[in-house]
Structure 1
Amino acid sequence: MSLSKVSKVTLTLQEKLDFFPALASILLAGFYALLTGLWRTERQAKTLFLHLGYAVFRKATARLTPSQLQYVSPPSHKIYEIYTKKTGASPQSVELGNGALGHWIGDRNADNVLVWYHGGGFGLPASMGHFKFYAQLIADLKARGKSVAVFSLTYTLSPIATYPTQLRQAVECLRHVLAQPNRSPSTVFMGGDSAGGNLVGGVLSHLAHPHPEIKPVELSSNLGGAVLVAPWTLLDTEFPDQEIYHGGDLITQAVAHPWSSAYLGKATRDYYTDLSTAPVDWYSTFPVESVLITGGGNEIMLPIIQDFAAKFKEGFGKVEFFIGHRECHVAPVYNLELGSKEKTEQGKKVEAFFTELMV
């Protein structure tokens, strides 16, 4: 599949006309956040700027369908092209088969490679914040004496394609990196945010327990490590413990049903889609040296993430869990998308984790 033939979503006339009242409601939500944001609590964003950005995203994702959001968002590979043009880097995109594309950020011959799966409920493309995050991570690790490149996956968004398409594409992305000449699995790392964290868990599950519809991956040794930032590993249509949410997160419960339904389609949920539901011994044979799971102190999914991290640690052992104080869902990425210059606590932890494990 060529870059110009990546599948795109189509909308009905009614869905297109709906953008006008939706835009009005989003602007109103932003204006309200601006007025009320001067009196923020610990459960809300650290700055008025972030508070406003979170409110707008929250309203947009609650008001618009996954297809509508996708329709107005440039696809991931276009964002990558914009990023390389802005930074003066040469774009290096690879067709991975099965409709997937991979994009190199940094020197593909670096000592270490980080395969990253972006979030967005499986229905939103990678943002410019993702590519800023990759570049920041590469630069910061270089300052610590670590040579690393990022290989970012463009997978087919839902509802254009449904599970297990995205998991198959994520597996092929990792397989491509592992097939590089002289590339040891110990120098290959995986990372993902939100739905991308789901894919990290799904790929680790496939490596240990091959999915019946996906070709197995043979490893000569364990992967170097894996990071799951605010992983979405339980596709329930409701989030528990709603009292944790006081306007300090990016998302609301309104996204749970449409996003999970669009991803699953007619498929039945299993341990690959919902790693939180797997038995403890499912994790025990994951072929990776160490795992970091992070979450934001103000995010609506924190109770789910905490339960998942505890279960993962019980079954696997080498798992560290970290909570970023007063941070929202996928703050290391979305704060950069908004233009924030301040590093998040979760972002610093991810950097420290990779510094310790990379050669």
Structure 2
Amino acid sequence: MSRSAAHDARNQLLRETLSNNEDARKSSVPTGETVRRITSDLGISLKSENIPSSDGARLHFIGQISAEKVLLYFHGGGFGLSAFEGHIKFLIQSQEMLAAQASTVLIAFLEYGLTKEKKYPTQLMQATEALRFLLSKGFRSSNIVVGGDSAGGNMTLGLASVLMHSCTGVTPLQIQEPLAGLLLISPWVSFESSSSSYRRNKEYDIFGSESMQGWATDFVLDQERNNWNEPIKADVAWWQGLQAEKVLNVYGSLEVLQEDDKILGDTLHKAGVAVKNVECKNQVHIDCILDAQFGLEVGPMSTEIWQWLATVFQRGI
């Protein structure tokens, strides 16, 4: 069941670190600060801008600002934690992998509002305004991949829903061409914790049902749960006409969200979406992000993402 002793030790450390939501929140470093430090340490170009009409959201442009292809990325953290170092490091690794294959890709990293101060639909509104901001700068939707991990995967699916269905609290957005793709990394698609994988994988994954329920309660009221913020609720018909050419849905076989992510992927497939669903053997939640953070050997989650991104971005301008 284990990838290595080092991965096991990492997962155990994270289970302890993330076991108390309030302690994790207090130790969380602001996203902008983390982005600036890592890009500075690595000597990578960074330009940060406020997003208009977004209640304080910012986009951090990492890499060559003149690039025509963009990965708009929403980080995870239960809507209550800032970005991890691993988020930035993994995206820069991805950027370098793409550059080696002659694809220059700009990372547009969203710094969005966190709970408990900001609740739904603020984060979805900010994700929508981030895409609108990119389009206003002249980027073509057909050259944009929107992606995210965990809560960021939730936001990615929420934004995909906004492009098809009007959502209360979010200004509608229509695009002229479908997005190049959607990247879903261990997406958080259900606020329930009753699936069998919560029980089966609780000893392997980096968090359990109690912490997830706490983050969900901070994010959205029970009466506000809907297809935009809890994607597993949406039926096949909801996803028909999805405004993206390709979708990658990757998750670990050892994560508590495994069953929910599989169901979501199956629903997208039944809706006629060009989705690739990949269950990564012996990997846990957002394992590719954690490998980057801890400097460990990468697994299939990372390589699947890099191969998919290369294919999608090479479809061309």
TM-score (norm 2): 0.94
Aligned match for 1:68, one of 23, 28, 31 = 23
- After the TM superposition, which of the residue ranges 83-92 and 195-204 deviates more from structure 2? 83-92
Which residue of the partner structure matches residue 179 of structure 1? 136
Unaligned runs of 5+ in 2: none
Structure 2 Cα separation of the partners of residues 267 and 85 of structure 1: 44
Maintained 8 Å contact 2:71/2:107:
yes
Structure-1 residue corresponding to 2:160: 204
Secondary structure at the counterpart of residue 92 of structure 1:
strand
The change in CA–CA distance for 1:154 and 1:267 in structure 2 (over 3 A counts) is farther
Opposite residue 151 of structure 2, the aligned amino acid is A
Q: Contact 2:242/2:273 (CA < 8 Å) preserved in 1?
A: no
Alignment partner of 1:93 is 2:43: no
- Counterpart of 1:19? none
In the alignment, the residues of structure 1 paired with residue 6 and residue 192 of structure 2 have an alpha-carbon distance, to the nearest angstrom, of: 31
Which residue number corresponds to residue 277 of structure 1? 233
**2-structure distance, mates of 1:291, 1:316:** 11
Judging changes above 3 Å, is the alpha-carbon distance between structure 1 residues 266 and 299 closer, same or farther for their aligned structure 2 residues?
closer
**Counterpart Cα distance in 1 of 2:12 and 2:221:** 29
CA contact (8 A) 1:50 1:338 kept: no
CA distance in 2, matches of 1:131, 1:77: 11
Which digits, 9 at most, give the CA deviation of each residue in 1:259-294, with x for residues without a partner?
A: 100111475100011111112111002211111100
Distance in 2 between residues matched to 1:265 and 1:77, nearest whole Å: 28
Q: Structure 1: where are the runs of 5+ without partners?
A: 1-41
Aligned residue identity for 2:159: V
Alignment-derived partner of residue 301 in structure 2: 346
Is residue 2:214 matched to residue 1:247?
no
Secondary structure at 1:291 match in 2: strand
Offset at 1:60?
A: 2.3
Identical amino acids, percent of aligned pairs? 25
Alignment equivalent of 1:116, drawn from 73, 77, 85 = 73
**1:1-359 equivalences in 2 (<5 Å):** 42=1, 45-62=2-19, 64-65=20-21, 67-96=22-51, 97-181=54-138, 183-245=139-201, 247-265=203-221, 268-340=224-296, 342-358=297-313, 359=316
Q: Which amino acid aligns with 1:118?
A: H
- Classify 1:304/1:75 alpha carbon distance in 2 versus 1 (closer, same or farther; 3 Å): same
What do you get for the CA RMSD once the two structures are aligned?
1.5
Post-superposition offset of 1:105: 1.1
**Equivalent-residue separation in structure 1 for 2:17 and 2:44 (angstroms):** 32
Tell me if the contact between 1:197 and 1:229 (Cα under 8 Å) persists in the aligned partners: yes
Is contact 1:115-1:189 (8 Å) kept? yes
| Gap change, CA 1:111 and 1:61, over 3 Å in 2 | same
Letter in 2 for 1:247: E
Report the more deviating stretch, 235-244 or 324-333: 235-244
Q: Is the 8 A contact 2:71 2:147 kept in 1?
A: yes
**Total equivalences in the alignment:** 312
Contact 1:290 1:318 in 2 (8 A): yes
- Aligned-partner residue type, residue 30 of structure 2: P
SS at match of 1:134: helix
CA contact (8 A) 2:73 2:107 kept: yes
Q: Point out the structure with max Rg over C-alpha.
A: 1
The answer as to whether partners of 1:283 and 1:315 remain within 8 angstroms in 2 is yes
Counterpart CA distance in 1 for 2:106 and 2:267 is: 31
2:202–2:208 CA contact under 8 A, matched in 1: no
